[in-house]
Amino acid sequence: MTGKEAVLSEELNGRIALVTAAAGAGIGRAIAHRLAADGATVVLTDIHQQRLEQAAAEIGEATGARVIPQVLDVGDRDRIIEVTDWVRDQVGPLSILVNNAALNILAPIFDYDPADWDRVLAVNLSGPWMLSRQAMRQMRDAGTGGVILNVSTYAPDLGGLGIEAPYAVSKGGLNVLTRSCAHEGGRYGIRVNTLSMGMVTGTRFTDTLHADMRAEEMAQAPLGRLAHVTDIVEAAAFLISDRSAATTGEILNVAAGRHMRY
């Protein structure tokens, strides 16, 4: 998105969003850019400070929105509390949370390092739980409701294919967390949904994969293609906006049907 495309709408004016793992050339940054373009104040978080500050400056310049960089390792609970409390006190209570950060360490179950297991679950499940806890408290206390969007995958349905069991377990847990939070948050006007995907084109990671791997994935998708990052952003924008005001506790698969082909 360029400066010419700055503001898409004003439907998120006055809302404060926090997006994790949003400094790279991937889904987190694309969603953060869209939220800013729709009028939200965006707290951009990542573990890479220099890249984070650059991304915040670029998104802010392109959209005219206020974009605030905050270094955050979602596996660090103390830092989660520090950042979310700072946002509440210095910017305002969160009304949007996007749990996008994820980690996958590949190894056979027989050889999996317990420390790697703990780290994957800390980033993919415990971190989103802690962030959701903090955000839901702010949304409840503000009395204005809010939206949490968890970014997941259909990997839990595969059982992780062995070498990525902790990743699948953590994402399966995240899907359950979505519905638990939706049940508890509903009375306070808090909606919680999951956006689930597989391989996504238009990101630095996928675009560097071998062409044969991408072709194999496309062959497994009923639509004969992979989802593009713009497909993900449009779905995220819908789930975060008031256009989905009656939608909560849902898992929306945006994977060109790939999640059905097992």
H helical segments located in 45-164: 49-63, 77-90, 114-121, 127-142
Task: Give the chain's length.
Answer: 262
Q: Are 118 and 40 in contact (CB under 8 A)?
A: no
Contact in structure between 238 and 182 (CB atoms under 8 Å): no
State the SS3 of 130-163: HHHHHHHHHHHHHCCCEEEEEEEECHHHHHHHCC
The span from the CA of 117 to the CA of 103, in Å, is 10
Identify residue 14 by its one-letter amino acid code. G
> Looking at 112, 154, 167, 188, which residue is catalytic?
167
**Helix and strand numbers, DSSP H then E, in the chain:** 9, 9
In the DSSP assignment, the letter for residue 226 is P
Q: Is 154 a catalytic residue?
A: no
Residues labelled catalytic = 167
